[in-house]
């Protein structure tokens, strides 16, 4: 029996670093900042690097390195980038038997404009990554203990297949880190899916968009989201840390991030969410699971790319653990 199946995107990522990328504070942007380039100019790139990414594969590698039996449902093109992703996942011990290959579409591709602060802007071409066949979920024979549903491009067929699977196998747990495609559906349409979740993960910007709350009003975000999610809700906020709510216990948790190097924030959310859920699977407390999530994310942002810094099982226990405050 599989421990976890991840569902989500698979991409090839190219990282561009340049001292010409400028941060500008501007309230018109949901993050309050913009990464700007002068229009009409030609800029020098200081460094260029390639890696693999996508929430479906990033999270699968965390679970694999934590020693779980893991499979990934994703979609790639029948090209060199797709072959590289497949080879990498296989080397990590991820079951790729449900990973689809499309001959007429390029593997998803992301261009990451990386600022010296470690923050970045990502330009994403979805390509084959949002061409997951929902029938793979419906026909699943090896039912995992957990499903981890990442961004699926707002494909309601996938969400409905997950709902149907949960109804047939009520002891299966579900965690989700929905992407913009899902969140654009709105809470009313997402309600049947959210009601099945044991864990909902999103960053604060996404929570602002979906709940129409003020950025600083997490109380209202939790109030609205807890109408739909009856498990645990986690709102991350980059280097500022996170706030979580155990809806059943009506208890909130908060944690910061350690004072460690911050090279590239790409994949931090995937690293946190998957390590957090890995802690729950290992029957750790919510506080301990948060600490493991923060440790994994902190290691990832200290290196370039979404997978290089993912911690192994024997490494995560030795990483400095942040203090978790409970209210």
Task: Provide the residue range defining the domain that includes 123.
Answer: 4-326
Tens of pLDDT, residue by residue over 111-170, are 988 887 777 788 889 999 989 999 999 999 899 999 999 999 999 999 999 999 999 999
Between 277 and 112, residue with greater pLDDT = 277
Give the per-residue pLDDT at 116. Answer: 74
Instruction: Answer whether 75's CB lies under 8 Å from 111's CB.
Output: no
pLDDT of residue 253: 98
pLDDT of residue 112: 85
Q: What is the CATH number of the domain that holds 93?
A: 3.40.1190.20
Residues 294-302 have a mean pLDDT of: 95
What was the pLDDT predicted at 18? 84
Quick one: pLDDT at residue 292? Answer: 97
> Residue 43 above 90 pLDDT?
no
Tell me what pLDDT residue 158 has: 97
| Mean pLDDT, rounded, for 12-27 | 86
pLDDT score of 204: 94
279 Cβ neighbours under 8 A, 6+ residues apart: 288, 289, 290, 291, 292, 293
> Is the pLDDT score of 173 beyond 90?
yes
Residues 45-63 pLDDT 10s: 888 989 999 999 999 999 9
Query: How many domains is the chain built from?
Result: 1
Instruction: Determine contact, residues 37/51, Cβ cutoff 8 Å.
Output: no
255-273 residue pLDDT tens: 999 988 888 788 899 999 9
The average pLDDT across 172-198 equals 96
pLDDT at 220 over 90: yes
How large is the average pLDDT for residues 294-312? Answer: 94
Q: Is the pLDDT of residue 322 over 90?
A: yes
The pLDDT of residue 24 is 84
- What pLDDT does 150 receive? 97
State the pLDDT at residue 122: 84
| pLDDT of the residue at 117 | 75
pLDDT one-digit tens code per residue, 69-84:
999 999 999 999 999 9
Give the rounded percent of residues in the chain with a pLDDT score beyond 90. 76
Q: What was the pLDDT predicted at 25?
A: 84
Query: 101 pLDDT exceeds 90?
Result: yes
The confidence score (pLDDT) of residue 324 equals 98
Q: pLDDT class for 88, splitting at 50, 70, 90?
A: very high
> How confident is the model at residue 28, as a pLDDT?
81
């Amino acid at each position: 029996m599989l421990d976890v199946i991840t569902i989500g995107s698979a991409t090839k990522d190219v990282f561009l670093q340049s001292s010409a990328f400028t941060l500008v504070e501007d309230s018109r942007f949901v993050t309050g900042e913009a990464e700007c380039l002068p229009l009409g100019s030609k800029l020098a790139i200081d460094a260029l690097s390639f890696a693999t990414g996508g929430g479906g594969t990033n999270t699968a590698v965390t679970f694999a390195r934590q020693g779980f039996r893991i499979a990934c449902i994703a979609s790639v093109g029948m090209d060199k980038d797709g072959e590289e992703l497949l080879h990498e996942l296989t080397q990590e011990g991820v079951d790729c038997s449900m990973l689809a290959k499309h001959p007429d579409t390029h593997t998803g591709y992301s261009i990451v404009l990386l600022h010296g602060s470690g923050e970045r802007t990502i330009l994403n071409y979805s390509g084959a990554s949002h061409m997951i066949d929902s029938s793979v979920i419906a026909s699943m024979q090896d039912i995992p203990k957990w499903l981890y549903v990442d961004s699926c491009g707002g494909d309601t067929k996938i969400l409905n297949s997950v709902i149907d699977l949960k109804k047939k196998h009520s002891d299966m747990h579900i965690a989700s880190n929905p992407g913009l495609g899902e969140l654009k559906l709105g809470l009313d349409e997402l309600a049947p899916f959210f009601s099945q979740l044991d864990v909902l993960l999103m960053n604060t910007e996404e929570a602002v968009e979906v709940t129409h709350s003020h950025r600083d009003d997490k109380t209202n975000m939790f109030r609205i989201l807890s109408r739909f999610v009856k498990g645990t809700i986690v709102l991350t906020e980059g280097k500022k840390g996170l706030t979580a709510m155990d809806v059943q216990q009506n208890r909130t948790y908060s944690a910061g991030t350690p004072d460690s190097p911050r090279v590239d924030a790409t994949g931090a959310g995937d690293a946190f969410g998957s390590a957090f859920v890995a802690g729950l699977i290992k029957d750790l407390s919510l506080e301990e699971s948060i600490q493991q999530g923060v440790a994994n994310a902190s290691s990832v942002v200290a290196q370039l790319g979404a997978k290089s810094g993912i911690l192994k099982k024997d490494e995560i226990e030795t990483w400095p653990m942040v203090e978790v405050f409970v209210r």
